[in-house]
């Protein structure tokens, strides 16, 4: 990374960042995409994707990402591995501070750093991720047709997604650490009326268990009695919250009460010239399809901003 001044810097190399990169470099903006390790984001660790249009037989997450990277490189997008430490958006040229004391200057920024599901931090959780454990019902529910699954959490996501899962699965065991759900009352009523959902109250999952390749069960501990039991399941869905990847942002742009970046319908943040797209923004749906749509808009908005920037 010899050069330190750009038209546009994209922070994050998941589907949102790569799409912004394809659009911006195709528009001949001098664009640099910064990704912490390797492009891909959550898609890179997604075994199989069935709901991204254009692939009727489905496609693996890594293959989809590699296609996006190849497409971006075809238009000469520059991609660098670095970690963004902090940002300063106070001047007309935005500053991005990277590890190794490097500073980038850019006319515009697209933040596409994504979000990460909160994890339980129990044995087996990482090992069976993508081999039975999922954080996304919309993405992975259809893989568990007529199977038994466990779901963890008591908020809107856990309850709404558990109801969604009952379209496919035989049984959802919904494990919650208290004896009252946090979810909206209407969702609670629907879940209580659904005979495919069994509630396991006052309980936590202490480990996920199985063979070499697949999840077979979960150990569930009742916090009131201290007793543990084994639940035989084929899948597990963890819905205990989602955290935006925004630690480097500080107060530089407006965020909502959960830390997601507020944008308008042009993906403009509270700071002119700074845009956000994909899972990191306040959005009702976090999917690859929505991320790429956001980013097409963000790139167009950035292009317009840069044109005006040059005229002023
Ligand atoms: P959330 O509301 O923060 O709920 C997280 C749930 O996970 C809580 O029930 C919490 O238990 C539990 N939890 C947290 N850490 C845990 C741990 N380590 N072990 C076990 N359980 C744990 O998260 P969310 O459901 O993803 O919702 C996030 C926001 O999006 C909320 O504002 C929600 O209203 C909104 N949302 C809305 C809709 C809708 O309107 N239809 C749909 C989805 C999400 P406790 O209850 O004991 O704290």
Residue-level pLDDT at 128: 95
pLDDT at 36 over 80: yes
In this predicted model, which residue has the larger pLDDT, 124 or 310? 124
The per-residue pLDDT for range 241-264, each reduced to its tens digit, is 999 999 999 999 999 999 999 999
Mutate to test the pocket of ligand 1, among 137, 157, 279 (most ligand atoms within 8 A of CB): 157
Mean pLDDT of the chain, nearest integer: 94
pLDDT at 306 over 70: yes
Residue whose pair of structure tokens reads 């990402």 in the numeric block: 65
Question: Residue 284: which residues within 8 A CB-CB, separation 6 or more?
Answer: none
Phi, psi of 190 (to 5 degrees): -65, -40
Please state whether beta strands 133-134 and 148-152 pair in parallel, antiparallel, or not at all (unpaired). Answer: unpaired
Report whether residue 160 contacts ligand 1, using a CB cutoff of 6 Å: yes
Residue-level pLDDT at 40: 81
User: 46-50, 101-105, 140-144, 266-270: which range is least confident on average?
Assistant: 46-50
Q: How far apart are CA 213 and CA 60, in angstroms?
A: 17
Report whether residue 182 contacts ligand 1, using a CB cutoff of 6 Å: yes
Question: How far lies 307's CA from each of 7, 139, 275, 301, 311, in Å?
Answer: 10, 38, 15, 10, 7
Residue-level pLDDT at 165: 96
% of the chain exceeding 70 in pLDDT: 98
Report whether residue 180 contacts ligand 1, using a CB cutoff of 6 Å: no
In this structure, the residue with its CA closest to atom 39 of ligand 1 is: 156
Please state whether beta strands 31-35 and 5-11 pair in parallel, antiparallel, or not at all (unpaired). Answer: parallel
Do 211 and 123 touch, CB atoms closer than 8 A? Answer: no
Q: How far apart are CA 308 and CA 55, in angstroms?
A: 38
pLDDT at 292 over 60: yes
Residue-level pLDDT at 252: 97
Cβ burial 265-288 (10 Å sphere, 16+ → b, else e): eebbbeeebbbbbbbbbbbeebbb
Structure tokens at 209: 């268990």
Residue-level pLDDT at 51: 87
Residue-level pLDDT at 45: 67
Question: Residue 268: which residues within 8 A CB-CB, separation 6 or more?
Answer: 274, 275, 301
Catalytic residues, by residue number, are 136, 139-140
Dist. CA 59 → ligand 1 center (Å): 30
Q: How far apart are CA 146 and CA 227, in angstroms?
A: 29
Q: Nearest Cα to 124, choosing from 111, 133, 115?
A: 133
Side-chain half-sphere exposure of 259, counting CA atoms within 13 A: 14
pLDDT at 302 over 90: yes
Confidence of residue 212 (pLDDT cuts 50, 70, 90): confident
Dist. CA 12 → ligand 1 center (Å): 25
pLDDT at 3 over 90: no
- Domain segments of the chain: what residues? 3-116+242-311, 119-238
pLDDT at 185 over 90: yes
Question: Which CATH topology does 3-116+242-311 take?
Answer: FAD/NAD(P)-binding domain (3.50.50)
User: 28-32, 60-64, 84-88, 172-176: which range is least confident on average?
Assistant: 60-64
Report whether residue 157 contacts ligand 1, using a CB cutoff of 6 Å: yes
In this structure, the residue with its CA closest to atom 5 of ligand 1 is: 240
Question: Residue 23: which residues within 8 A CB-CB, separation 6 or more?
Answer: 295, 296, 299, 300, 303
Report whether residue 204 contacts ligand 1, using a CB cutoff of 6 Å: yes
Q: Do the domains at 3-116+242-311 and 119-238 have one common CATH topology? A: yes
pLDDT at 117 over 70: yes
DSSP helix/strand/coil, 92: coil
CB count in 10 Å sphere of residue 254:
12
% of the chain exceeding 90 in pLDDT: 87
The per-residue pLDDT for range 7-29, each reduced to its tens digit, is 999 999 999 999 999 999 999 99
Structure tokens at 8: 């546009």
Residue-level pLDDT at 35: 96
Do 152 and 122 touch, CB atoms closer than 8 A? Answer: no
| CA 102 remoteness from chain centre | 27
In this structure, the residue with its CA closest to atom 26 of ligand 1 is: 241
In this predicted model, which residue has the larger pLDDT, 44 or 221? 221
189-196 contacts at long range (C-beta below 8 A, 24 or more positions apart): 190/159, 190/163, 191/159, 191/162, 191/163, 194/163, 194/166, 196/166, 196/169, 196/170, 196/171, 196/172
Atom of ligand 1 nearest to the CA of 182: 46
The per-residue pLDDT for range 151-184, each reduced to its tens digit, is 999 998 899 999 999 999 999 999 999 999 999 9
Q: How far apart are CA 13 and CA 8, in angstroms?
A: 14
Report whether residue 283 contacts ligand 1, using a CB cutoff of 6 Å: no
- As a whole number, mean pLDDT of residues 197-220 equals 96
Report whether residue 153 contacts ligand 1, using a CB cutoff of 6 Å: yes
Task: Please say whether the structural domain 119-238 has been given the CATH code 3.50.50.60.
Answer: yes
pLDDT at 2 over 70: no
pLDDT at 1 over 70: no
In this structure, the residue with its CA closest to atom 14 of ligand 1 is: 240
Dist. CA 181 → ligand 1 center (Å): 9
């Amino acid at each position: 990374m010899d050069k330190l001044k750009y038209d546009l810097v994209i922070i994050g190399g998941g589907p949102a960042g790569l799409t912004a990169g394809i659009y911006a470099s195709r528009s001949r903006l001098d664009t640099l995409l910064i990704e912490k390790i390797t492009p891909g984001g959550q898609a890179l660790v997604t075994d199989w994707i069935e709901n991204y249009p254009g692939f009727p037989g489905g496609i693996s997450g890594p293959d989809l990402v590699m296609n996006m990277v190849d497409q971006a490189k075809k238009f000469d997008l520059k991609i660098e591995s670095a970690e963004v430490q902090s940002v300063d958006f106070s001047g007309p040229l935005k500053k991005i501070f990277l590890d190794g004391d490097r500073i980038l200057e850019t006319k515009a920024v697209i933040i596409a750093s994504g979000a990460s599901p909160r994890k339980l931090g129990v044995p087996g959780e990482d090992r069976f991720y993508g081999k039975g454990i999922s954080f996304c019902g919309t993405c992975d529910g259809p893989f568990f047709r007529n199977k038994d699954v466990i779901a963890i959490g008591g908020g809107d996501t856990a309850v709404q997604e558990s109801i969604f899962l009952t379209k496919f699965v035989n049984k959802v065991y919904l494990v919650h650490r208290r004896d009252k759900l946090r979810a909206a009352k209407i969702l609670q009523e629907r879940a209580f009326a659904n005979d495919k959902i069994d509630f396991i109250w006052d309980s936590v999952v202490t480990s996920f268990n199985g063979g070499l390749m697949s999840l077979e069960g979960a150990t569930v501990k009742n916090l009131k009695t201290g007793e543990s039991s084994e639940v035989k399941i084929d899948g597990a869905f963890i819905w205990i919250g989602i955290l935006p990847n925004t630690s480097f942002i500080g107060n530089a742009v407006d965020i909502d009460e959960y830390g997601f970046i507020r944008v308008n319908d042009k993906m403009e943040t509270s700071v002119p010239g700074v845009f956000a797209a994909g899972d990191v923004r306040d959005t009702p749906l976090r999917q690859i399809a929505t991320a790429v749509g956001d980013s097409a808009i963000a790139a167009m908005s950035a292009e317009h901003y840069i044109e005006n920037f040059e005229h002023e």
